[in-house]
Chain A
Amino acid sequence: MVGERPSIETVWEWLSAVPDPEIPVISLTDLGIIRDVAWQGDTLEVTVTPTYSGCPATTIINLDIETALREHGIENLSLKRQLSPAWTTDWLTEEGKAKLEEYGIAPPQPAGGPKHCPLCKSENVERISQFGSTPCKAQWRCTDCLEPFDYFKCI
């Protein structure tokens, strides 16, 4: 089919509907790992940066991007990996942070720990472990409601 190339904005919109495979409440664009979308001639080039170098979700993310764009009719697609500048939680969108909190994951804070318990909002929290169920999270606990919760590490 000889159709018109979708605009860059449209592609970004499509990508904002692709959920993160491990934390599906936020999208890949919320996560801030899509660094660039550009047309190189007839080929759509999407630049992705990994969150953590060993994160097993990386290959799934690439597959999800490819599947989504193919479904929208993109035939020539190239996925580029970019390491530098390294991904930082500063790239999480405000909307993404709000969605995390609502889901029960405390969003990253520059201070290095959660602002409050995402469940009861108490500020009395303590760290259980620096690492959690995925590379991007740590385990914390609220000392008021006693619920353990995930904290999205600030890097």
Chain B
Amino acid sequence: MSDPLFEFCCRMGDNTLVLGHRVSEWCGVAPVLEEDIALANTALDLIGQTQLWLGLAGEVEGKGRDADKLAFHRDVWDFRNVLLAEQPNGDFGQTMMRQFLFDSWHLMYLKALMSSSHEQVAAIAEKSVKEVTYHLERSTDTVIGLGDGTTESHERMQKALDRLYSFVGEMFIDDEVDAAMVEAGIAPDPSSLRAEYDAQLDAVLAEATLTKPEDDFAHKGGKTGVRHTEHLGHMLTQMQWLQRAYPDATW
């Protein structure tokens, strides 16, 4: 295993990169103009945070790779994002359910990172918390609005939850990278946030009149890079093609 701090920064940066790219796929085709702008702004925040996390990852690694190099010149097995982030957009409801499930975890984790022993990690978290607070406010409102909406929107949101819930568990699995972060006082154990997450999830789902699936099975393999879903590779062919076809092209 490479330096745990490098792994940790890649996990943070790949989550925001992959989800940011996914959300940006809506640009120009969202259901209404306001949502199009909101999705593009959310994607922009996430890509901005990616520059900070992957920039730090490159510094920690010390091999001369910057954020762009890490984003565009790694293969699918080198990515460390959770599987939830790479799931396809589906319909608007599925995109917003994915956003809500991620934002809830993201905000809790970032808030904990604000007291990190690592100065740069704490600074990136402090900056990100302000942006992600907005993301969560909006995704929560949308999940409630569509869940407790028309018969059609309710059904779609329930379907989205049923499809995505099995990807929630991975965000709370502890492994040796997390253990090293806990020991260094850099980050908390993800599992320590589960109870708070569940309480928040249950409250929002109740208001959205949605039912949490009973099965707690969790897909895993994203944050370790052991096994991504097939969707990530397809996404990278889109995201990376220019830098792959014309390496180090600039304008």
Contacts and interface: CB of A to CB of B under 8 A. Distances in A.
Task: State the majority secondary structure of interface residues on B.
Answer: helix
Interface in A53-101: 53-56, 83-88
A83 B45 contact: no
Contacts of B138: 130-131
A113 to B, nearest CB: 13
A61 to B, nearest CB: 14
Nearest to A82: B123
A52 B52 contact: no
Interface centre among A86, A88, A132 (most CB of B within 10 A): A86
A105 to B, nearest CB: 16
A40 interface: no
Contact of B47 (A54, A84, A133, A153): A54
A19 interface: no
Given A53-B49, A55-B48, A131 B130 contact: no
Contacts of B124: 83
B37 interface: yes
Contacts of B47: 54
Instruction: State which size class the interface on B falls in.
Output: 20 to 34
Interface in A5-59: 50, 52-56
B127 A53 contact: yes
A83 B128 CA distance: 10
B137 A53 contact: no
A122 interface: no
Contacts, number: 71
A144 B128 CA distance: 36
Interface string B33-44: 011011001101
B63 to A, nearest CB: 22
A130 B38 contact: yes
Contacts of A53: 45, 48-49, 51-52, 127-128, 131
Given A85-B126, A135-B44, A52 B37 contact: no
A124 interface: no
Nearest to A84: B123
Nearest to A56: B44
Contacts of A86: 123, 126-127, 129-130
Given A83-B126, A130-B137, A155-B130, A135 B45 contact: yes
Interface of A: 50, 52-56, 83-88, 128-133, 135, 139, 153, 155
